[in-house]
Structures are given as C-alpha cells and as structure tokens.
Chain A
Amino acid sequence: KQEVTQIPAALSVPEGENLVLNCSFTDSAIYNLQWFRQDPGKGLTSLLLIQSSQREQTSGRLNASLDKSSGRSTLYIAASQPGDSATYLCAGGAGSYQLTFGKGTKLSVIP
C-alpha cells in the first residue's frame, strides 16, 4: 500500500525567501505525483503534476521534482509571498484510480 509522508508539518518563512517542501512515498511504481494547494475552508487546487516518466514540472515560481528511485518529490517555491500561505498537499497516484495523499505542510509566509 502506498504511503505518502510530508515533512515538516508546518513551516514559517519571511517574505522573499526561497523554500522547499518535501514529500516521500513508499511505492516506487508510482504513476504520477501531484502537488495541491488548500486554503483554509476551501477545496484543493492542483498546482503541478509530474508523470512517472518526467523528472520535474514548472509553473511560474513553482518547480516540482520527482525522484522515483529515492521515493521523493520536492516543491520549490521561489521568492515566497504572503499570498503563498496555505497548506500544500502532495499525492501519489499508483495504479489507475486512486490518489494517496500526504497530510500536508502548512506554510506561513511572514510579511
């Protein structure tokens, strides 16, 4: 059974800092790896999706990488802004239908 772990559970950084969020998974036969953002009281918004054949994906100030051999993914946020404050979730897709979610990292960007 796929297990997804996110460390740290919470992170506080000053505005403008570059930061990395970590995600690890146990099943290297991962189909894809997705990063989501969740604002308080809201649903999830997909940020980046990396297929198993890819190494990384970029969108604006966000860059996500995938290393299947080590069972790790990272989400890099450049020049963080207070508007980036949210909970970031990673989810591993194994097989056809199911996503296994990590518990998330709550990010606070301090002005």
Chain B
Amino acid sequence: NAGVTQTPKFQVLKTGQSMTLQCAQDMNHEYMSWYRQDPGMGLRLIHYSVGAGITDQGEVPNGYNVSRSTTEDFPLRLLSAAPSQTSVYFCASRPSLAADTQYFGPGTRLTVL
C-alpha cells in the first residue's frame, strides 16, 4: 500500500489563482479529511468526508471547496488564492468513524504571493 499520497509537494501561486491539491489513499478508508498547519496555530480541520458523495465543513472552511466522487480521492480546491492561505496542507484518512487511528499524507507546502 502507498498509504495516503498528496501532490504536489510544493506550490507557489499568485493571489487570485486557483488550484487543486490532490489527495489519494489506497486503503479503502471511508473517512478523509484536510488540515492546514500554520506556525503557532497547530493543525486545523478544513473539510472532511465520511464517504463518497458526502462532505462537510471543519473549523476553517472558507476559501476552500472539496468533493468526494470516489472512495480513493479527496481533492481540495482553492478557488481564488489569498496570502492567508499560505500554509502546509495535510490530508488524512482512517478506516471508519469507529476507527480512530488517522493516517496522514506527507503534506503540500503552499505559498501564495
């Protein structure tokens, strides 16, 4: 198993550009989530999904969209990038709501100029 994979590893955007951060897992996990990690702030939940076709907002959802068309993939879209979205983004998955161990991807480091 490759586990949780994320692409790209690094990205630089200009203000106003859009892009999609990719996340995929090959463990057939139902639950997937996106976090952002900022210095001095810890990890904060952006969006999560409890299964294909079902998504919901986390603590800091503004400026981000998600969709879950398959069990494997959970892309995160930035519609109009802002400097405040400069951060490291982590995707995570776990087998089900009853299974508590989360598996994290390696992260995407995003800089918005």
Instruction: Please report A residues at the B interface, Cβ cutoff 8 Å.
Output: 4, 31-32, 34, 36, 41-46, 49, 51, 89, 91, 93, 96-99, 101-104
Contact = CB atoms under 8 A, between A and B. Distances in A.
Given A97-B31, A103-B42, A32 B100 contact: yes
Contacts of A32: 100
A88 to B, nearest CB: 12
29 contacts: A4-B42, A32-B100, A34-B100, A34-B102, A42-B106, A42-B107, A43-B4, A43-B104, A43-B106, A44-B90, A44-B102, A44-B104, A49-B100, A89-B42, A91-B43, A97-B31, A97-B33, A97-B48, A97-B56, A98-B48, A99-B43, A99-B45, A99-B102, A101-B35, A101-B42, A101-B43, A102-B42, A103-B40, A104-B42
Contacts of B92: 44
Contacts of A41: 107
Contacts of B102: 34, 44, 46, 99
Interface residues of B, number: 26
A104 B37 CA distance: 11
Interface of B: 4, 31, 33, 35, 40-45, 48, 50, 56, 58-59, 90, 92, 97, 100-107
